[in-house]
A and B are shown apart, each in its own frame.
Chain A
Amino acid sequence: GIQVEQSPPDLILQEGANSTLRCNFSDSVNNLQWFHQNPWGQLINLFYIPSGTKQNGRLSATTVATERYSLLYISSSQTTDSGVYFCAVLYSGGGADGLTFGKGTHLIIQP
């Protein structure tokens, strides 16, 4: 099946810092989503971005499908940004229609 690798696995930053999270995938995809899992365990949709660039406030994401990677940018980090960030993809070559998740990046923003 398709492989999804996220880096870094852990990231500790001070409030106000910027960060870049990376997601590499091993095959072509027709769905790519970024999620934030908050301390209460809820999976919050951040972006649906199988290709191109999107921005939402302090967050933005870019997917370069031809090179099989996606980046999530967080600017001016706040403590509420803490949590685990997941990248999830859907392989475009057929098979099961469920998302394949990476292992996540655990982000801690310190005040």
Chain B
Amino acid sequence: DAGVIQSPRHEVTEMGQEVTLRCKPISGHDYLFWYRQTMMRGLELLIYFNNNVPIDDSGMPEDRFSAKMPNASFSTLKIQPSEPRDSAVYFCASSLISSRETQYFGPGTRLLVL
């Protein structure tokens, strides 16, 4: 399997623009997670899905952030409008049947908002 795939790998945008990050989980995995890594807060969970259904979005920082999973092989994380403080590395991860199993991480998207 190709592993978790994320795109783009790097994104530079200007404040106020809409940003869409994409993730393709490992085929057959039921759980999908979005994490964010910043210098100040480290790695933290934003939202996760089970069988395409959002289960917990309490980690989403504010209403400017939204995530969807229209099917088992695709998820998006959208920031609208983007702000400089959103600059971070965004990781997508997936696990097979439950979160108690190994979570496999994608390569991340490095976002810079100017």
Q: Main SS of chain A's interface residues?
A: strand
Q: Mark A94-111, 1 if CB is under 8 A from B, else 0.
A: 001111111110000000
- Across the interface, B48 reaches (CB within 8 A) one of A30, A43, A96, A101, namely A96
| B: number of interface residues (CB 8 Å) | 26
- Across the interface, A97 reaches (CB within 8 A) one of B56, B91, B105, B110, namely B56
- Across the interface, A88 reaches (CB within 8 A) one of B43, B101, B107, namely B43
Report Cα–Cα, A31/B50, bound state, in Å.
17
Report Cα–Cα, A35/B8, bound state, in Å.
23
Contacts between the two chains (Cβ within 8 Å), count: 63
Report Cα–Cα, A100/B102, bound state, in Å.
13
Q: In the bound complex, do residue B89 and residue A41 qualify as a contact, i.e. CB atoms below 8 Å apart? A: yes
Report Cα–Cα, A101/B102, bound state, in Å.
14
| A: number of interface residues (CB 8 Å) | 22
B contact residues around A104 at 8 Å (CB): 42
Report Cα–Cα, A30/B101, bound state, in Å.
9
B contact residues around A103 at 8 Å (CB): 42
* Closest-CB distance, B40 to chain A (whole angstroms): 11
Report Cα–Cα, A88/B101, bound state, in Å.
12
- Across the interface, B43 reaches (CB within 8 A) one of A31, A90, A97, A101, namely A101
Q: In the bound complex, do residue A31 and residue B99 qualify as a contact, i.e. CB atoms below 8 Å apart? A: yes
Q: In the bound complex, do residue A35 and residue B42 qualify as a contact, i.e. CB atoms below 8 Å apart? A: no
Given contacts A43-B91, A96-B58, contact A90 B99 (CB under 8 A): yes
Given contacts A41-B89, A90-B99, contact A98 B108 (CB under 8 A): no
Is A42 interfacial (CB-CB < 8 Å)? yes
A contact residues around B91 at 8 Å (CB): 43
Is A75 interfacial (CB-CB < 8 Å)? no
B contact residues around A48 at 8 Å (CB): 101-102
Which of B58, B91, B100 is the most central at the interface, judged by chain A CB atoms within 10 Å of its CB? B100
